[in-house]
Amino acid sequence: MPRTPLEPRFTIEHLSILDSDGNLDTALEPDLPADELKRLYRAMLLGRRLDERMVRLQRQGRIGTFAPIKGQEASQLGSVSTLRPTDWMVPSFRETAAMIWRGWPIDKLLLFFAGFLEGGQPAPAQHDLGITIPVATQLPHAVGLAYAAQYRGEDAVVMAFFGDGATSEGDFHEAANFAGVWHVPVVFVCQNNQWAISVPLKKQTHSRTIAQKALAYGFPGIQVDGNDVLAVHAASREAVERARAGGGPTLIECVTYRLGVHTTADDPTKYRTDEEVAEWARKDPLTRFTEYLRKKNLLEDGLEAQVDAEIAEAIRRFEATPPPDPLAIFAHAYAELPPDVAAQRRELAERLQAPPPRRADEEHPPAPPMRGQRMTRR
């Protein structure tokens, strides 16, 4: 029997509108109002300046370990800016700029990275999930949200963020299969920053692109220049509109680069070269967008000072926040506390109400100095 081809050879497109040399394809340029362009630029600048400030806060011991976003601002903001407030955003652990765009206060995010669970709780009416640290586990949740919206007949789209390393996890493939089978309104945004911590992309997959993985699950995939905010916005707007109209999911691969560390506990000099970083730094998304707006005469004077003042005020609020109630750790694990956990809660409550124990030097004060002897303070 002769072999019968079942699928024609597939094609994956790469979209770039504003390249790293400032060349603009005016035929593909999205029609964005000046106010929207300025808002996008301010958000990118805020994301970059906050990221740099947070690194210093972490080195000073004022917050804990976090994942910097430097170099990935266009991938996040070009995509999330296409959502409505009634849509859902599902982040991983490196979406600081996208979360601020969605209304998360900076001081609240700082609380999260300082170890307070309150910092990871969305506002009651906010259509976002919290930060997800385990890689790719948020993706089935995102598809579940999209399935629920579809089932209820709601006009909502779900956008889920993840990195290239997440595509090596089973959760990604299960979520993509679920999304394709049920044709749900979800947009998968993969920030392909070339490294899954210290593992390069070439050791993660033999596929030419990550975008082509969508085709196996029956929905479109596209690769975009992830350092080009215009290209990311155009591809994301098309995917969101298609999902909202009932056209099902899309996978967008944003080809970008993590200019900083994986997290503040990482040392990237152990696995990548300075030359590689310098090459990608020349493609910096913020520099590229700055020049684009300069040519349009849309840059605002004093914007950096405004952004720095906003960050400083957020840090002041964060550090002035009173410590939360330790008993809150028992509030969300069980609908009804099991007897042993209830006993632990009572014990902790009693300890919190008890007076602090006296220090050893209070129980045994030093003998008064002998006549002619000086008292020294240590």
Q: Write out the catalytic residue numbers.
A: 258, 262, 271
CB of 254 closer than 8 Å to CB of 230 = no
Token digits of residue 227: 């350092």
- Computed on alpha carbons and rounded to an integer, the radius of gyration of the chain in Å comes to 25
Q: Report the largest interatomic distance among the alpha carbons of the chain, rounded to a whole angstrom.
A: 113
Any residues with CB less than 8 A from the CB of 146 and at least 6 apart, and which?
A: 88, 157, 158, 179, 184, 185, 186, 243, 249
Give the span between the Cα atoms of 11 and 106, in whole angstroms.
Answer: 41
Any residues with CB less than 8 A from the CB of 295 and at least 6 apart, and which?
A: 22
Give the span between the Cα atoms of 143 and 193, in whole angstroms.
Answer: 23
Cβ neighbours of 287 (radius 10 Å)? 14
Give the span between the Cα atoms of 55 and 261, in whole angstroms.
Answer: 10
- The beta strand positions in the chain, using DSSP E, are 14-15, 88-90, 158-163, 186-192, 195-196, 199-200, 221-225, 250-255
Residue type present at position 118: E
